[in-house]
Structure 1
Amino acid sequence: MEHPGPPRFIAVGESVQLAPRDPDPDAPYEWRIRSAPVSSTVEPPDGTAVIDFTPDAPGRYTLELDAREKTYTLTIRAFASEFAPGDVGGSASGVSGVSGPQSGSARSVPEHGAVSGSGSGARSGTETGGRPRVQLHGTVDGDELVVWANPLPHPGNEHAGEDLDVEFLVDDRDEVKEGAIQRDGRELRIPISAVGDRVRVHGVAVGETYSVPDTIDFSREVVVDGGESRTVTKPTDTTADDGEIRTDAFVARRPNDPPEWATDVTLYEIYVRGFLGDEAMTEADDPGSEADDPESEAANLGSEAANLGSEADDPGGETGAESDESATATHTDGRSVFDRIADRLDYLEELGVDCLWLTPVLQNDHAPHGYNITDFFSIAEDLGDREDYERFVSAAHDRGMKVLFDLVLNHSARDHPFFQDAYGNPDSEYYDWYDWQDSGEPETYFEWEYIANWNFENLAVRRHLLDAVDTWFEVADGFRCDMAWAVPDTFWQELRDRVKSRDPEFLLLDETIPYVADFHNGMFDMHFDTTLYFTLRQVGRGHADADAVLDAVEGRDEIGFPPHAAFMLYIENHDETRYVVECGDEAAMAAAGALVTLPGVPMLYGGQELGQRGRRDALAWEDAREEFREHYERLLDLRNEIPALGTAGGFSRVSYETDTDRAVAFRRELDDSAYVCVLNFGESPATVTLVEPVDDTDLVTGESLLTADGLEIDDVAVFHAG
């Protein structure tokens, strides 16, 4: 289906890239505006399949896309420019933000039953302060589909959610009879007789700004009679081939919720060309020997401040082989790297890991990090082949582990044959596959010299990458999406719909630095918590008080992430100096505690639990620090034993006193269970006095920490409260 996707909520002056989905690169496509606000003069360019649309007046726009066999409509709700959220820039991610030519025509806006609320974008927008949030809920009530909204004010707003408006849009892709939609404030009703087999309702909360949209998806599905309880209106019973009676029913789903399995896992990043350690390398294989590598284990002994691998220097890891310090993996015994990594799965299972993220495994330009891809459809020869990779995935699944595929879509390597053909050759069929500077050099970010950015305005590029997505979707449980901020939002939305239609439990995790709330608008399930990462680094170095971690967690709501968004917590990865190197042993122990006690999904980077010091060195398995490994094992066991420490648990501040600004306390609770967690990032034990009564036995160590002056905390402690 070439329909361009869900309706959009946007503000005047913001841009959104629009494109046909599942495109045929050789087919003609044409955009036009069917209706728009009277004062609008914006027009899409002629004969262009992919456009950047920038509304110039508040109100509602209806766009039409002429495709191969059908004309599709798309609704865009444009708020006045002053409603633009602060974290949304003038263009979407990966998009230039330039609007099409304008004309002097004025067009009226027809009535459209899919919109409720203020509708005009002319509110003063002064009484509700900060970006609101919203959750939509749906059910079947008799012979009607019902959606109701729960708008939430900005956490710093002294007004209640009752002061917020709500606007709904029914998806243009779904059959709904005109005039059948009934609206009553924050509730929307649609008679079942007025819809086809599916209807999606999108909504935002509107105050001083508009929220990240949320969605309810109603669909008919055949349910085994006597199976899961569902609300059914006018059911149609049928007899299946196996003789069982089934019932045709509408089911309401929340598609923006993350997969349930993903919120309960412990993630582990495997740097595939370093994870095996010295067994997989020889000195000749190592492109950056210890003598040349300022971040190698030998060079880092005793160092506390190395920061050569920071995001500022290399946020995506897209550097050349000669600047990468990892060992190149080999498999001289005839077994693939994947088979040999699988040998470590029992260790990871014992550690408490149940989800694996492998750094890129596709054919590349031989930079060991693998992010410079030369073939998006083939496994890297030095790692094995697809059969080897699939055997690894099966071995992980046998242990109850999920596997995330590192998906790199922003760029190719400059060694990619398409780029080699296009470079300096405007007549190449691949020249328009890339973005180019006026100088004739490819566009890239941060002056990375080994990659070239794809041109997402070219349908052939989209087709190529969607085909790659289809290829690797089959052998993964989710995608870790590299440099998500550098790919157009609407491409991610198409990708999400594409994979979720086949497997709703498929996980999409975005690397976006800093994180962006709007990336939970039909794009991703889980987000790198970059704010908490940065804060834990600052606290670990002594540049911020420990209670700054509480501000970082609360910042998710303040920036506008909806309540259903999930977050991955981390203190290091393949792009970062090891936390223990930068912050020291004591802070590293406390940071490990933060990963398992703060709300979110913990992620360990391979070797983190060993006290590894080199960022991309071969893991020093023989020199593992047992105190680190045992510490992580205890903490991960505790997180699994106490559901309140997981993503479902509540989080709040508590009153406490301490003799150091390096310590912080907070509360986690779920149902009738409550716990107080204390972190100490200092080099010396901290004495903490809690106002709330707790059992003085630390659940991490099993020992009482009570002294005459209060509770004595070395690094992390968890106490049963109340």
Structure 2
Amino acid sequence: MQHPGPPRFIAVGESLQLSPRDPDPEVSYQWHVERAPESSTVELPSEDPVVEFTPDTPGTFQVGVETPANNYSLTIRVFPGSLAPVTAPGSESGSGGVSGHQSGSARPVARSAGVSGSGSGIRDDTVERGRPRIQLQGDIEEDELVIKANPQTQPDGETAHSDIEVEFLIDDRDDVSPDVVSTTDREMRIPIEAVGRRVRVHAVAVTDVYSVPDSVEFNRDPQPDGGEAIVDTTTPSTDTDIDTQPDTCEDDDGQTGTHNHAINIRRLNEPPEWATDVTVYEIYVRGFVDEAEADTDTDTDTDSTFAALTERLDYLADLGVDCLWLTPVLQNDHAPHGYNITDFFHIASDLGDSEAYESFVDAAHDRGMTVLFDLVLNHSARDHPFYQDAVGNPDSPYHDWYAWRSESEPETYFEWEYIANWNFQNLEVRRHLLDVVDKWMAVADGFRCDMAWAVPNSFWRELRDRVKTRDPEFLLLDETIPYIADFHGGMFDMHFDTTLYSTLREVGRGHADATEILDAIDQRKAVGFPPHAAFMLYAENHDETRYIVECGENAAMAVAGALFTLPGVPMLYGGQEMGQRGRRDALAWDDAREEIYTQYQRLITLRNDISALGVDGSIHSLNHTVVDNEETSVDSERVVAYERRADNESYVCILNFGETPATVTITETNTTTHEDAAESSEPTTVNVNPENLVTGESAASAEGLVVDNVGVFAVTTESNHN
């Protein structure tokens, strides 16, 4: 189906890239504006298959694309420019731009007219503002599908909750008449009898800025051969059987069939459940095993690097790791990191072959591990045969595959001299890369998407729909620095927590107060990430100096505690658990630090065993005092304390980034709560069991709890503070 996808939400002053999906480069596509506000003069270049839409006035636009198979319409809801979010740079076109270019829908519209007035209202301020957030829930009540919105005001915002406006939008790809839909401020209702195979509903919250959209799907899951309906049990979902007469309906491929009804409700932007419970481990494939372990001469019958990696899986299983991120494994220009790819369809010969790679993945699966494939889509190596044919040759069939800075110099970022950026305006490039996605998603459980900020948002939206249609549990993790909230709007499931990473570095170096770690967690909400967004927590990776080198050994032990006790999904970079000091050196297995390994192993076990430490646990800052005495003297700025709660259990976590043990007293809960914590009540005294669950030893002293670097303590009782 070549429909350009879910409709969009943007504001005047923002632009949007539009492209037919699943394109055939051999045919023509024509874009045009079908409907626009009366004052608009926007036109689209009708002969270009990939176009930029830049609205000139608020209102509802409908654009169309003519394809060989059909004509498709796409609704674009445009807000006044004054409602545009001020965020970090993103990429709608693949060549920079402003994030906030969203996908949504716009049939029917349910909101007051107060925000959609005349004039562009383009913002003239550059101060970053907080954004409201929204989460949709689907339900079935009698003979209606019900979509309920839970909007939230931005932190420190002046808008009352009752004044948040919600705009519901039905997907253009779904055949539902606006005449049968009813809406209120917080709710949309659709008669079941008016719905075909499925209906997708999108919504945003609007205050003085619009939110990242959320989406929910009702799917009858028909079988075109007339077989019994299959209910998708993707979590979270609500499965409801509805007894009706069989209907005839058409699926996305134009096939028709008779089916029974079994309606599945799925929140489309929810991360896969498995992905929020894992510990991720990055394997730098050309350094994790040494040459003595892997004979990479594929002309012989000896082992490959992948076979050697397989031999290390039991070590990782014993550590507690259950998700592996491999740095790129495709044919490349021999740079050891592997990101300069010369062949996107074949495994690098120095690592093995496709059979060896797939055997490794199977072995990981046998141990209950998932595997993330490092997907590099922004560029190819300059040694790629397409680039070699194109450079200096305007007549090359591949010349237009690349973006060019000059006749002989390709576009790239940061003056990187070994890569060349793809031209995503070219349908052949998009087709080529979609085929890459199809090939490798079949032998992975998720993609770690390299340089996600540099690839057009329109391509990520298509990629997401493409892989999620085939496997709703497939994980999409974006590398975007700094993170961008809009990337959770129909593009990615999980995000590198770049803000927390930077804060952990500053705290480790002694340049920031340890309590700023909690501010970093709050920042997710402030920039507009919805409550269901997932974050990967990391302190180092293959691009960064090792934390232990930059911040010292005790800070490195403390940061381990941060990764496994803060809300998010922890990630270790290979060797971090053994005290490795070289960034990309071969791992020094013989010099592994047992005490560091034990620290990580215990923390992984704790997070697995205690639900409050996971992504669903709330987090609350704690008032605490660092005691200054002869035995323990640590600056209070080096210590942070917080409480994690879930399932009627609470745990106090203390991190000490100082060089010596800290004696800490917990006085009461702070009235400030963090990241989706419940409404704050009166302060309460916190009583804890003095056993440090990380060490298994008592931390009790006459003056408080003594913490070397990480302490996790069970809360025994809480009483109102009088």
TM range (shorter): 0.7 to 0.9
Instruction: Say if 2:666 is the partner of 1:690.
Output: yes
Instruction: Say if 2:241 is the partner of 1:232.
Output: yes
Q: How does 1:249-398 map to 2 (within 5 A)?
A: 249-277=262-290, 279-280=292-293, 334-398=302-366
Distance 1:632 1:353, change over 3 A: same
Instruction: Decide whether the 8 Å contact of 1:167 with 1:203 is kept in 2.
Output: yes
* SS of residue matched to 1:117: coil
Provide the rounded CA distance (Å) in 2 between the counterparts of 1:89 and 1:380: 33
The aligned residue for residue 655 of structure 1 is 623
* SS of residue matched to 2:196: coil
- 158-167 or 539-548: bigger deviation: 158-167
Shift of 1:493: 0.6
Instruction: Say if 2:476 is the partner of 1:508.
Output: yes
Instruction: Decide whether the 8 Å contact of 1:271 with 1:359 is kept in 2.
Output: yes
The aligned residue for residue 75 of structure 1 is 75
Q: How does 1:111-130 map to 2 (within 5 A)?
A: 113-118=107-112, 121-122=115-116, 130=130
Q: Give the letter for the 1:366 counterpart.
A: H
Provide the rounded CA distance (Å) in 1 between the counterparts of 2:502 and 2:231: 52
* SS of residue matched to 2:261: strand
- 654-663 or 555-564: bigger deviation: 654-663
Q: How does 1:473-512 map to 2 (within 5 A)?
A: 473-512=441-480
Instruction: Decide whether the 8 Å contact of 1:133 with 1:151 is kept in 2.
Output: yes
- Residues 470-523 of structure 1 show CA distances to partners (whole Å, capped at 9, x for unaligned) of 000100000000000000011001000000000000000000000000000110
Instruction: Decide whether the 8 Å contact of 1:78 with 1:121 is kept in 2.
Output: no
Q: Give the letter for the 1:267 counterpart.
A: V
- Residues 271-309 of structure 1 show CA distances to partners (whole Å, capped at 9, x for unaligned) of 000001353589xxxxxxxxxxxxxxxxxxxxxxxxxxx
Provide the rounded CA distance (Å) in 1 between the counterparts of 2:90 and 2:478: 21
In structure 2, runs of 5+ residues without a counterpart are 99-104, 222-227, 248-258, 628-635, 668-685, 718-722
User: Which of 438, 448, 455 is residue 470 of structure 1 equivalent to?
Assistant: 438
Q: Give the letter for the 2:185 counterpart.
A: G
Instruction: Decide whether the 8 Å contact of 1:58 with 1:121 is kept in 2.
Output: no
* SS of residue matched to 2:358: helix
User: Which of 567, 584, 587 is residue 552 of structure 2 equivalent to?
Assistant: 584
> After the TM superposition, which segments of 4 or more aligned residues of structure 1 sit over 6 Å from their partners?
123-126, 224-229, 328-333
Instruction: Decide whether the 8 Å contact of 1:435 with 1:442 is kept in 2.
Output: yes
Shift of 1:329: 9.7
Shift of 1:667: 0.8
The aligned residue for residue 169 of structure 1 is 169
Provide the rounded CA distance (Å) in 1 between the counterparts of 2:238 and 2:136: 21
Instruction: Decide whether the 8 Å contact of 1:146 with 1:189 is kept in 2.
Output: yes
Instruction: Decide whether the 8 Å contact of 2:90 with 2:484 is kept in 1.
Output: no
The aligned residue for residue 564 of structure 2 is 596
Provide the rounded CA distance (Å) in 1 between the counterparts of 2:460 and 2:693: 42
Shift of 1:233: 3.6
Shift of 1:162: 1.8
Provide the rounded CA distance (Å) in 1 between the counterparts of 2:360 and 2:536: 24
Shift of 1:584: 0.6
The aligned residue for residue 675 of structure 1 is 651
- 151-160 or 559-568: bigger deviation: 151-160
Instruction: Decide whether the 8 Å contact of 1:280 with 1:329 is kept in 2.
Output: no
Instruction: Say if 2:391 is the partner of 1:423.
Output: yes
Instruction: Decide whether the 8 Å contact of 1:273 with 1:329 is kept in 2.
Output: no
Distance 1:410 1:431, change over 3 A: same
Instruction: Say if 2:26 is the partner of 1:26.
Output: yes
Shift of 1:185: 1.4
Shift of 1:116: 0.8
The aligned residue for residue 209 of structure 1 is 209
* SS of residue matched to 2:713: strand
- Tell me which of the two structures has the higher relative contact order, counting C-alpha pairs closer than 8 angstroms and 6 or more residues apart: 1
- Residues 319-376 of structure 1 show CA distances to partners (whole Å, capped at 9, x for unaligned) of xxxxxxxxx9999881011011000000000000000000000000000100000000
* SS of residue matched to 2:315: helix
Provide the rounded CA distance (Å) in 1 between the counterparts of 2:232 and 2:58: 50
- Residues 629-660 of structure 1 show CA distances to partners (whole Å, capped at 9, x for unaligned) of 11111111111111110111111112211242
The aligned residue for residue 191 of structure 2 is 191
Distance 1:391 1:693, change over 3 A: same
Q: Give the letter for the 2:494 counterpart.
A: M
Instruction: Decide whether the 8 Å contact of 2:294 with 2:304 is kept in 1.
Output: no
Provide the rounded CA distance (Å) in 1 between the counterparts of 2:397 and 2:232: 57
The aligned residue for residue 706 of structure 1 is 700
User: Which of 504, 510, 514 is residue 546 of structure 1 equivalent to?
Assistant: 514
- 330-339 or 175-184: bigger deviation: 330-339
Provide the rounded CA distance (Å) in 2 between the counterparts of 1:381 and 1:41: 55
Shift of 1:422: 0.1
Instruction: Decide whether the 8 Å contact of 2:107 with 2:172 is kept in 1.
Output: no
* SS of residue matched to 2:27: coil
- 224-233 or 137-146: bigger deviation: 224-233
Distance 1:225 1:470, change over 3 A: closer
Provide the rounded CA distance (Å) in 2 between the counterparts of 1:565 and 1:229: 20
Instruction: Decide whether the 8 Å contact of 2:297 with 2:304 is kept in 1.
Output: no
Instruction: Decide whether the 8 Å contact of 1:581 with 1:613 is kept in 2.
Output: yes
Shift of 1:95: 4.1
Instruction: Say if 2:684 is the partner of 1:716.
Output: no
The aligned residue for residue 565 of structure 1 is 533
Q: Give the letter for the 2:269 counterpart.
A: N
Q: Give the letter for the 2:197 counterpart.
A: D
The aligned residue for residue 2 of structure 1 is 2
Shift of 1:247: 5.2
Provide the rounded CA distance (Å) in 1 between the counterparts of 2:204 and 2:96: 25
Distance 1:433 1:237, change over 3 A: closer
* SS of residue matched to 2:343: strand
- Residues 576-607 of structure 1 show CA distances to partners (whole Å, capped at 9, x for unaligned) of 11000000100000000000000000000000
In structure 1, runs of 5+ residues without a counterpart are 99-110, 239-245, 283-327
Shift of 1:525: 0.3
The aligned residue for residue 683 of structure 2 is none
Provide the rounded CA distance (Å) in 2 between the counterparts of 1:394 and 1:435: 38
Instruction: Decide whether the 8 Å contact of 1:652 with 1:667 is kept in 2.
Output: yes
Provide the rounded CA distance (Å) in 2 between the counterparts of 1:703 and 1:88: 45
Provide the rounded CA distance (Å) in 1 between the counterparts of 2:449 and 2:359: 23
Instruction: Decide whether the 8 Å contact of 1:705 with 1:712 is kept in 2.
Output: yes
Provide the rounded CA distance (Å) in 1 between the counterparts of 2:624 and 2:199: 50
Instruction: Decide whether the 8 Å contact of 2:625 with 2:665 is kept in 1.
Output: yes
Shift of 1:193: 1.8
Shift of 1:160: 3.9
Q: Give the letter for the 1:672 counterpart.
A: N
Instruction: Say if 2:489 is the partner of 1:518.
Output: no
Q: Give the letter for the 2:402 counterpart.
A: Y
Instruction: Decide whether the 8 Å contact of 1:277 with 1:620 is kept in 2.
Output: no
Provide the rounded CA distance (Å) in 2 between the counterparts of 1:669 and 1:60: 44
Distance 1:9 1:88, change over 3 A: farther
* SS of residue matched to 1:501: helix
Provide the rounded CA distance (Å) in 1 between the counterparts of 2:90 and 2:643: 39
Instruction: Decide whether the 8 Å contact of 1:666 with 1:678 is kept in 2.
Output: yes
Provide the rounded CA distance (Å) in 2 between the counterparts of 1:351 and 1:230: 37
Provide the rounded CA distance (Å) in 2 between the counterparts of 1:450 and 1:359: 18
Instruction: Decide whether the 8 Å contact of 1:433 with 1:460 is kept in 2.
Output: yes
Provide the rounded CA distance (Å) in 2 between the counterparts of 1:619 and 1:90: 35
- Residues 83-131 of structure 1 show CA distances to partners (whole Å, capped at 9, x for unaligned) of 0011165862624669xxxxxxxxxxxx9751111356347999xx731
Instruction: Decide whether the 8 Å contact of 1:218 with 1:253 is kept in 2.
Output: yes
Shift of 1:235: 3.1
* SS of residue matched to 2:697: coil
The aligned residue for residue 142 of structure 1 is 142
- Residues 10-37 of structure 1 show CA distances to partners (whole Å, capped at 9, x for unaligned) of 0001011110000001111011001111
The aligned residue for residue 101 of structure 2 is none
Instruction: Decide whether the 8 Å contact of 1:215 with 1:255 is kept in 2.
Output: yes
